[in-house]
């Protein structure tokens, strides 16, 4: 590879270091020059899936010994990586796609190598999260990365409840067989009015971006089977002042119900009566209960 930017001079690539190297999320042209330089420089490449990585390396004309470091062996494999580093080798780590450690293995390896007193060097590049956010719009300029929601319904509701009042946009990863269920659950728990960006197959042949509301999301996905194919990033607008106003509008109803009912029953009834999001009402009910209890404490002083 021509050293277009004199890469070896721009930064010293220390020996006995672990390089965390981002790789493309689809389009193989999205590798960085530094990533190619480092992958060519290292003595060994640790990879989430050595067969996938071998194919990728072949496309770039790089030949290196590989070793597997994946979700199920990350701690043990870290010991081997540390041995190679202590012997003075440079080792790169790559996940199957995108940036290691982002809903991917890599972070335990980073911790183990740092705990052993060795150097870790980030080599940045593609990530589906940042790629989707770059085309979301100003409403997603502050964000919380959630990644994959739990697959069990109860845990999913709990996770969303904890996020319902966050003012930041929420970013989710999702697989094709669950995307419809997830978008439906998001609408049910966060309310149908929030903006939603469905980013599918980013950087690939069938890349598709669609912005709609959470209520419109399931209809859009069901209107053409192709719309549920591929890999997805979902970006959902954060909790807004407008939502606040509509939630606060239900305060008196919630307060009355809370006087005689447990929180969950009061929220269920309030959601049925008002059509507002159950999660948002739940979070507000907890706030109102807190305020009432604080009032009581103040009163005693
Ligand atoms: N480490 C990766 C990153 O930096 O984005 C993420 C790996 S995670 C195991 C895989 C998930 O990322 C997919 O299920 C999908 O939600 C998202 N993803 C990865 N590539 C994508 C793409 N090209 N388009 C849309 N989403 C993608």
Residues 192 and 205 in one domain: yes
Compute φ and ψ for 145, nearest 5 degrees: -90, 120
- What integer pLDDT is reported at residue 296 of this predicted model? 42
30 Cα–ligand 1 center, Å: 14
Residues 120 and 133 in one domain: no
Task: Work out which ligand 1 atom sits closest to the CA atom of 126.
Answer: 4
Residues 27 and 101 in one domain: yes
Of residues 269 and 292, which shows the higher confidence score?
Answer: 269
Greatest alpha-carbon span in the chain:
77
For the chain, where are the alpha helices, taking DSSP H only? 7-10, 33-41, 50-60, 74-86, 107-115, 128-133, 153-163, 179-190, 217-222, 241-248, 251-260, 263-274, 278-300
- Domain of 286 in residue numbering reads as 251-295
User: Last residue of a domain, which of 90, 111, 126?
Assistant: 126
Per residue in 68-124, pLDDT tens? 999 999 999 999 999 999 999 999 999 999 999 999 999 999 999 999 999 999 999
pTM exceeding 0.85:
no
Nearest to 94 by CA among 115, 70, 118, 120: 70
Per residue in 108-130, pLDDT tens? 999 999 999 999 999 999 999 99
Per residue in 3-19, pLDDT tens? 566 766 667 799 999 99
* Ligand 1 binding residues, C-beta < 6 A: 25-26, 95, 97-99, 102-104, 127-129, 173-175, 199, 201-204, 231-233
What CATH code is carried by the domain that includes residue 150?
Answer: 3.30.950.10
User: Last residue of a domain, which of 126, 149, 184?
Assistant: 126
21 Cα–ligand 1 center, Å: 15
- What integer pLDDT is reported at residue 282 of this predicted model? 86
68 Cα–ligand 1 center, Å: 20
Rounded CA-CA distance 35/126 in Å is 11
225 Cα–ligand 1 center, Å: 20
Q: Which of 233, 235, 236 to mutate to test the pocket of ligand 1 (most atoms within 8 A of CB)?
A: 233
Which residues, 6 or more positions from 165, have their beta carbon under 8 angstroms from its beta carbon? 239, 280, 283
Q: Which of 56, 95, 97, 207 to mutate to test the pocket of ligand 1 (most atoms within 8 A of CB)?
A: 97
Residues 105 and 157 in one domain: no
Question: Among all chains, which residue has been given the structure tokens 């404490």?
Answer: 297
| Mean pLDDT of the region 285-297 | 69
| Rounded percentage of the chain residues whose pLDDT exceeds 90 | 74
Give the count of domains, the chain. Answer: 3
96 Cα–ligand 1 center, Å: 9
Give domain status of residue 244, yes or no. Answer: no
CA-to-CA dists, residue 124 to 23, 35, 97, angstroms = 9, 8, 12
């Amino acid at each position: 590879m021509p050293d277009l930017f004199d890469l070896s001079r721009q930064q010293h690539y220390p020996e006995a270091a672990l390089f965390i190297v981002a790789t493309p999320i689809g389009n193989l042209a999205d590798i960085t020059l530094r990533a190619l330089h480092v992958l060519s420089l290292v003595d060994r490449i640790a990879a989430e899936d050595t067969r996938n990585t071998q194919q990728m390396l072949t496309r770039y004309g790089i030949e290196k010994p590989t070793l597997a470091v994946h979700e199920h062996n990350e701690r043990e494999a870290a010991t081997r990586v540390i041995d190679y580093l202590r012997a003075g080798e440079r080792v790169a780590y790559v996940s199957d796609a995108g940036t290691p450690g982002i809903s991917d293995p890599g972070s335990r390896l980073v911790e183990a190598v740092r705990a052993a007193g060795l150097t870790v060097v980030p080599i940045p590049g593609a990530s589906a999260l940042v790629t989707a956010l770059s085309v979301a719009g100003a409403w997603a300029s502050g964000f919380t990365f959630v990644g994959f929601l739990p697959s069990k319904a109860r845990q999913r509701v709990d996770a969303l409840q904890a996020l319902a009042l966050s003012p930041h946009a929420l970013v989710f990863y999702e697989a094709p067989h669950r995307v419809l269920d997830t978008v439906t659950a998001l609408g049910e728990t966060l309310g149908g009015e929030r903006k939603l960006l469905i980013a599918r197959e980013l950087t690939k042949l069938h890349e598709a971006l669609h912005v709609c509301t959470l209520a419109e999301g399931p209809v859009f996905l069901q209107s053409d089977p192709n719309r549920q194919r591929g890999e997805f990033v979902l970006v959902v607008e954060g909790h807004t002042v407008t939502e606040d106003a509509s939630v606060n509008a239900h305060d008196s109803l919630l307060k009355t119900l809370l006087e005689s009912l447990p929180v969950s029953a009061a929220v269920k009834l309030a959601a049925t009566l008002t059509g507002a999001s159950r999660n948002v009402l739940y979070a507000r009910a907890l706030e109102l209960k807190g305020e009432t209890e604080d009032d009581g404490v103040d009163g005693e002083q």
